[in-house]
Amino acid sequence: MIKFLSYLVLSVIVLSGLLRYSLEFESAQDIVIEQVSRARISNAAKGFPNPDSLRVFVCGSASPLGNSSRAQACIAVLTPSHFYIFDSGAGSTANISRAGLPYARLQGVFLTHFHSDHISEVYELNLASWVMGRSEALRVYGPKGVRKVVSGINETYEHDVGYRVEHHGSDLLNPKLARLKAETIRTGVVLEDGDLTVTAYAASHAPIEPAVGY
């Protein structure tokens, strides 16, 4: 019995080492990324049995000070033809991944204001949807000031984008799709996409000005 357990432990150690070693190679990492992407896209496609459904997923609702059991502000709105995120607080991207939502279909992110707990994972959304095969640059909608926020995110993660493209190649990760695009909005209808309409209204969140709801 002791000999069997010894062989078992040794086998696990060897296999773990081989896996870790193999992942040092670009081709192995590319295979892993592609397989994970396909699996998530396949799982997401199963989440829409009703062709007329609109679904709202709360991917975060914690306070700014954090909560061990919840992510910060984030709402996902999906139909068979649309996928938009409203705010992107810490921990929310992991919830989106766990729910199997279709990153490749993500069309845009709407920000209500620029508190850290509402914007801290915008780049994580950008990265996840980019890796999963998003076909267009991700647009970030928000009130006045959104261009500065988006510019800062793009500049902060410029090196990260470069490293990933250099490592995996532009065929897998198109660098043109890695930079976020800012869209400054005003109150009223801000987006009409087929049957989906997004309307912004002024929100009271002193001392923040402007702040909006959707």
Tens of each residue's pLDDT in the chain, 214 residues: 555 445 544 554 545 554 454 445 555 555 555 555 555 555 554 554 455 789 999 999 998 886 678 999 999 999 999 999 999 999 999 999 999 999 999 999 999 999 999 999 999 999 999 999 999 999 999 999 999 999 999 999 999 999 999 999 988 899 999 999 999 999 999 999 999 999 999 999 999 989 999 9
**What is the reported pLDDT for 40?**
52
What per-residue confidence (pLDDT) applies to 9?
A: 44
Q: How much is the pTM?
A: 0.78
Is residue 23 included in any domain, yes or no?
A: no
**Domain total of the chain:** 1
94 within domain boundaries: yes
- Distance CA(157)–CA(137), nearest Å, equals 15
For residue 32 the two structure tokens come to: 């892993």
118 is a domain residue: yes
| Distance set, CA 209 to CA 64, 89, 115, 197 (Å) | 18, 19, 11, 24
In a domain, 44, yes or no: no
Whether residue 156 is contained in a domain is answered as yes
pLDDT reported for residue 53? 85
The answer to whether residue 41 is domain-embedded is no
CA distance 104 to 185: 24
CATH code, domain carrying 69: 3.60.15.10
Domain range for residue 83? 53-187
Residue 63: inside a domain: yes
